[in-house]
Amino acid sequence: MQLRDFDIETFLRDYWQQRPLLIRNPWSSWSNPLAPDELAGLACEEGVESRLITREPDNWRAEQGPFPETRFSRLGRTPWTLLVQAVDHHVPEVAALMEPFRFVPNWRIDDVMVSYAADGGGVGPHFDQYDVFLVQGLGRRRWQLGAMCDSDTELLVHDDLRLLADFHASEEWVLEPGDILYVPPRLAHDGVAVGDDCMTYSVGFRAPSRSELIAHYCDDLLDRLDDDDRYADPGLPLQDNPGEITAGALASLQAMIAEAMADPAAFARWFGGYTTERKYPEMDWRPEQPVEEEDLHALIGGGATLLRNPASRFAFARKEAGGVLLFVDGECFDCAGQAAALAELLCAQPHGAVDPVLGDSDDAVQLLVELVNRGCVALEAGD
């Protein structure tokens, strides 16, 4: 699934994180990948994050799923929207919508949220802290875009929704099936269904905040620091005033912190694990029967196809000494040779043929065994 007549380099240079872009139906043949009833069924399941937002006169109401099946038959004519998070984890056809946007690195991609709205339904004017591609799947939706927002932007008082208190539209488009609207971070926007059976697929991205990175990295550092590693000042000079914290002492103390945090290799290993942690770690994707190396040798020799679990997150970082660190669902695998080649293949595409030469590498086969038994990948027998 690729986008026609879409210049990636121009988009990244002129639009990404800068300004919105409307892309009119760039697909060779657009087909809505999920039926409304299937989305409603997901919203009824335990372990699936979903919300139902209804707009009543002068009031917005938000309910958290899972929902009983009878809930949707009782909605009436009040404008409403159903939102289901991470639908790509459950529906391969929805996961495929992420592939055309992988010109953005894997670690930045979050998930695909799917919304279904009745006529007039929406989530209200708001802004996000991340980039999003809004793909119109079914029906029509009117999008209005406003000004850039920040932490000082006034919001309505609401326990569950971050709605703008004052929204003024400067641009407006109605999206038809197959159309895409790119919205950069912090840009105010509001989407309202025009008619019933309006489905929108939101391909969202992650943007960790500085405070988030520092807090989580410090937690990791604290687990690895030795309590005996302490400040020391041999040859301490006599001070004129014992109450002064000297510039030299401050520099030494700050250096203790900076040195611990400035190890590039340690940061890379931590960040790779941190950024690939599963969105829903409680979900168990392990196969019912664990595989053995002999099973994989037979599959590889038979021209098997490698399938990546859409719920798993893959990324890798190159090591200065050669080889790569493969990160999968928060775990780090040190790979060299054929195992490193396999790691790069796994990160590059969601599925593909397995090179039979991998069967000659014990390290590559052992890596595959581990990933298959964790439920991160699967091997499908060849014809």
Per residue in 326-338, pLDDT (tens digit) is: 999 999 999 999 9
- Please say which residue of 205, 221, 254 terminates a domain: 205
Residue 83 shares a structural domain with residue 185 = yes
Would 240 be classed as within a structural domain?
A: no
CB 314 within 8 A of CB 308: yes
Using alpha carbons, select from 202, 200, 157 the residue that is nearest to residue 175.
Answer: 200
Whether pLDDT at 55 is above 70:
yes
Cα separation, 276 vs 271, whole angstroms: 8
Between residues 296 and 235, the one the model is more confident about: 235
Burial of 133 (0-12, 13-18, 19+ CB in 10 A): buried
Residues 187-244: tens digit of each pLDDT? 999 999 999 999 999 999 999 999 999 999 999 999 999 999 999 999 999 999 999 9
Range of the structural domain that residue 362 is part of: 293-380
Would 106 be classed as within a structural domain?
A: yes
Residue 223 shares a structural domain with residue 367 = no
Residue 154 shares a structural domain with residue 219 = no
Residue 89 shares a structural domain with residue 195 = yes
Residue 23 shares a structural domain with residue 110 = yes
Tokens found for residue 85: 């998070």
Task: Check which CATH number belongs to the domain holding 92 and give it.
Answer: 2.60.120.650
Residue 255 shares a structural domain with residue 299 = no
Residue 217 shares a structural domain with residue 125 = no
Residue 173 shares a structural domain with residue 217 = no
Residue 382 banded pLDDT, cuts 50, 70, 90? low
What does pTM read for this prediction?
Answer: 0.91
Would 279 be classed as within a structural domain?
A: no
Residue 342 shares a structural domain with residue 219 = no
Using alpha carbons, select from 320, 350, 355 the residue that is nearest to residue 338.
Answer: 355
Residue 54 shares a structural domain with residue 176 = yes
